[in-house]
Amino acid sequence: MPTKNKELFEAIVAKAGLKQEIYANTLNAFNEFKKETVSLAADYHTKIRQTRWPIPFEYKDLGTFEFELKFGSDVLVFFMHSNIFEFSRDHEVMKSSYIKEDKRRSYCGIIHVFNFLADSFKYNRTNDIGYLIARIFINRESHYFIEGKREVGLLYNNFPTANLDQAAIHSILQSSIQYTLNFDLLTPPYENMKEVTVQEMQTTLENYQIRTGKRLGFRFQADSGEG
């Protein structure tokens, strides 16, 4: 029994140690995203002096695991999950020789990138919709893989060799902003909007409770840029 206990304890230490290592890598990467976003905002204000209308480009730190970048009429929210995950057996990453050589490489921390309308926060429209535009997976070797839309997802899928360095972080930020700029607010189908309750209409006058989203009434998955 003591031998079995020792093996059990060693397994606990190995798995927990692996997850702590990945968590540290992911948190470090998240902090680098914060620094690069601050730098990007400063560069914007250096290069864009004055416009007819005030166009924001603002970084806001929301704590250890979250920050936002507001630009124009959009907000990108970056959120790091505090837990460590493994890719599912059916995921394409699991079929690569990179993972088969060392299964520990399949365990990752995740940084999510969401897109919201700036007015959703400004007017406290809590029913409005945000969209996940990217998930950034980071493993024990600080290699990364991205699932995402168009500009974000198509460029960053070389998991065995992609290191999440400053140049990669800068490129991911640029691609996320570019995708958001191209992802415009569309008018929902008339059939989806022709009926409204008295309560919805009354609350709309107070705080815009009719739900708004860039693809509300449409299937977001049908977007031609699905990654």
Give the DSSP letter string of 169-215.
HHHHHHHHHHHHHHS---PPPHHHHS---HHHHHHHHHH--S---TT
pLDDT of residue 9: 94
The model's pLDDT over 86-122, given as tens digits with 9 standing for 90+, comes to 999 999 889 999 999 999 999 999 999 999 999 988 8
pLDDT of residue 225: 44
Element (H, E) at 47: helix 2-47
pLDDT of residue 128: 81
Task: Specify the pTM.
Answer: 0.82
